Amino acid sequence: MDSASYEAYRARINHIQAWRGKTNCSPHYHQAVEIVVALTDGVYTRVNNSDRTLSARQICVADCFDIHMSDSHGDDVYIMVIPKELLSNYLAVKRKKHLSTPFIDDLETCEKIIACIEAIINDNPSPLTLLGYVNTIMGLICETCGLSDSANADISVMQAVLDYLEENSDEDINLESLSRRFGYNKYYFSRLFNEFFQFNLNEYLARVRIKNFIAAMRADPTANIVGTALNCGFNSQQTFYRCFTKYYGVSPKEYLSQSQKSE
């Protein structure tokens, strides 16, 4: 699955998604709960302004509307995304509270959660059994992570920033104009943005624009590469090629060719 900055499409998915694969996911949020299970040491995870490098069999949980990202550095992880349609019992318990921590390192709890995820991936359970697994997983998460009344206004601001960047990434956006739009001093806003996302505004915009470029080229493989990149917000051919090669290690043409062969 491709990374996304604001995964609005998740609001339209009403079934559970669970798979084993690699992750290199840019900051994003959605109304589902997302669980990442490290299968090897060294999986980087971040939820809101808390981050941790997971050891094997440790777990990171992004609660509803948390801003989160992950990078397994090429190794496989388990990922499970639970839509709100299957979270009614959890939402009734937590009400307006929030998970006190997104990280689980208690080995016994982790193994119980992993067993449920593996059963969901491998056994194709019935809807009733699937709901039972979800309730078991969320119950273990609540018991281990705890619930608190913590509220962070900066999270809401950063969610709004992600929305704005996703919707306007093809425009000329800079730190000064963006900070002014959200009512911040540009130096404070820059620090806040970097703390949340672990890279600066230009790097984040490049990721969003590359994602949009790839989607546009898949929709129309005959489109002009440079023209499409400029339409996605890059201000020059040189900047586009430099950013694309940095993130994917190959040229856009090579990447698209490899992608078509693998489909």
What is the per-residue pLDDT across 209-247, written as a single tens digit (0 to 9) for each?
Answer: 998 999 999 999 999 999 999 999 999 999 999 999 988
What is the pTM for the complete model shown? 0.74
Maximal C-alpha separation, the chain: 54
Mean pLDDT (the chain, rounded): 90
Is residue 7 within 8 A of residue 30, CB to CB? The reply is yes
CA pair distance 41, 50, nearest whole angstrom: 18
Q: Average the pLDDT over 147-151 and give the result.
A: 77
φ/ψ of residue 46, rounded to 5: -145, 135
Question: Taking each helix axis from N to C terminus, what angle separates 237-248 and 252-262, rounded to the nearest 10 degrees?
Answer: 50
Tell whether the model's pLDDT for residue 3 goes beyond 50.
Answer: no
Name, in order, each residue with C-beta under 8 angstroms of 35's C-beta and a sequence gap of 6 or more. Answer: 59, 60, 61, 62, 78, 79, 80, 81, 82, 113, 117, 137
Exposure on the CB side of residue 232, measured as CA atoms within 13 A:
24
CB atoms within 10 A of CB 17: 15
- Asked if 61 and 141 touch (Cβ cutoff 8 Å), the reply is yes
Sign of CA dihedral 13, 18, 23, 27: positive
* 68-85: average pLDDT: 93
Please report the pLDDT score of residue 5 as a whole number. Answer: 40
Distance CA 248, CA 211 (A): 11
Asked if 120 and 29 touch (Cβ cutoff 8 Å), the reply is no
